[in-house]
Amino acid sequence: MSDQAERLRSLVAKRSHQPAINTRVITVTSGKGGVGKSNFTLNYALGLTAQGKKVVVLDADVGFANIDVLMGIKPKKTLADLIRREADLWEILETGPNGVQFIAGGSGFQELLEVRTEEYDYLVSQLGQLQGQVDYVLIDTGAGLNHQTLRLLLASDEILVVVTPEPTAITDAYALIKTVANRHPEAKLKLVINRVESAAEGRETAEKIRLVAERFLDLKLPTLGILPDDPIVSKAVRRQTPFLLSHPDSQASRSILKLIQEQLHGERLHDMSKTDGQGHGVKQFLHRMVRLFR
Ligand SMILES: Nc1ncnc2c1ncn2[C@@H]1O[C@H](COP(=O)(O)OP(=O)(O)O)[C@@H](O)[C@H]1O
Ligand SMILES: [Mg+2]
């Protein structure tokens, strides 16, 4: 067993003496591509980790896997190896900077759509080990709504829709929100407004989408946070070092940290740490993904 696997096992062993955590599966998506999903997901994960949360990032963007590139690590095994029962959870979990955990999807999410019963049982026994041990499983998706992404979204506990103030990004985001809301009226969707030139532009963008969703879909659409257009993001991508680590004082980093502080404050008010035992987490996610939304 590798040192890393050893560390992960002892982490879980230690954790198992503590009360179970309310694990939540949060998927990050967008209508239009290139709006900043992967950068947001990674830096959001790092910010949550810095606040003492246990986070696993799952890269579901088949063919364009880029979270690993953004961190400068090369995954050896992917979710696809796990589904084929050629690897266990410890072998597909990579440790990124500051202890953030990462799983490359590979072709795994595609294969999830067609798993057989034996594979499903193994999948649940493996990924199910995250249940109660990690606070958040964050899934980064590709842009747009294919069959696979829709299933992912419908199976998640929460959906973050990243959108920029560009009119094309807004209309594409709305189209995606509409499809999800029609299929699953109980879906918990939240907006992340990215690349704004001013706070006012961010608020206006959020308000525009919120009003249309309320009026035409009867859907509540809160905003998780607003992030500025910041040249540090593109620099960080080129250096393959997440901006939250290389430039914690940048505007982009400060906005992410503020968003996280507000989110965690809200979660404490609602005492989200308690498991409600129902409808949440990794096992429910797999059940919905594989069985329910066929
Ligand atoms: N807040 C931001 N400020 C400036 N540029 C950004 C910001 N977010 C994303 N970008 C730029 O957009 C590019 C695409 O981001 P990425 O996270 O890969 O998008 P997606 O995952 O949605 O395709 C990045 O390489 C970066 O150059
Ligand atoms: Mg991406």
- The set of residues, in sequence order, having a beta carbon less than 8 Å from that of 154 and lying 6+ positions away, is 180, 183, 184, 187, 288, 293
Q: Does the beta carbon of 79 lie inside 6 Å of ligand 1? A: no
Nearest ligand 1 atom, CA 39: 17
- Tell whether the model's pLDDT for residue 248 goes beyond 80: yes
Q: Does the beta carbon of 70 lie inside 6 Å of ligand 1? A: no
Q: Does the beta carbon of 36 lie inside 6 Å of ligand 1? A: yes
Q: What confidence category does residue 269 fall into, taking pLDDT thresholds of 50, 70 and 90? A: confident
Q: What confidence category does residue 118 fall into, taking pLDDT thresholds of 50, 70 and 90? A: confident
State residue 148's pLDDT score. 85
State residue 115's pLDDT score. 86
Task: Report the share of the chain in percent with pLDDT over 90.
Answer: 71
State residue 116's pLDDT score. 86
Mean pLDDT of 266-289: 78
Ligand nearest to the CA of 197: 1
Nearest ligand 1 atom, CA 162: 22
Q: Does the beta carbon of 160 lie inside 6 Å of ligand 1? A: no
The rounded mean pLDDT for the chain is 90
State residue 194's pLDDT score. 98
Ligand nearest to the CA of 64: 2
Mean pLDDT of 1-26: 69
Do 283 and 124 form a contact (C-beta atoms < 8 A)? yes
Q: Does the beta carbon of 39 lie inside 6 Å of ligand 1? A: yes
State residue 2's pLDDT score. 59
In this predicted model, which residue has the larger pLDDT, 118 or 46? 46
Q: Does the beta carbon of 69 lie inside 6 Å of ligand 1? A: no
Domain boundaries, the chain: 23-292
Write out pLDDT tens, residues 122-152: 999 999 999 999 999 999 998 888 888 998 9
Atom 2 in ligand 1: which residue has the minimum CA distance?
A: 229
Write out pLDDT tens, residues 29-66: 999 999 999 999 999 999 999 999 999 999 998 666 58
In this predicted model, which residue has the larger pLDDT, 279 or 251? 251
Q: What confidence category does residue 293 fall into, taking pLDDT thresholds of 50, 70 and 90? A: low
Q: What confidence category does residue 117 fall into, taking pLDDT thresholds of 50, 70 and 90? A: confident
State residue 274's pLDDT score. 59
State residue 171's pLDDT score. 97
State residue 147's pLDDT score. 86
- Tell whether the model's pLDDT for residue 11 goes beyond 70: no
Write out pLDDT tens, residues 212-221: 999 999 999 9
State residue 74's pLDDT score. 86
23-292 homologous superfamily: P-loop containing nucleotide triphosphate hydrolases (3.40.50.300)
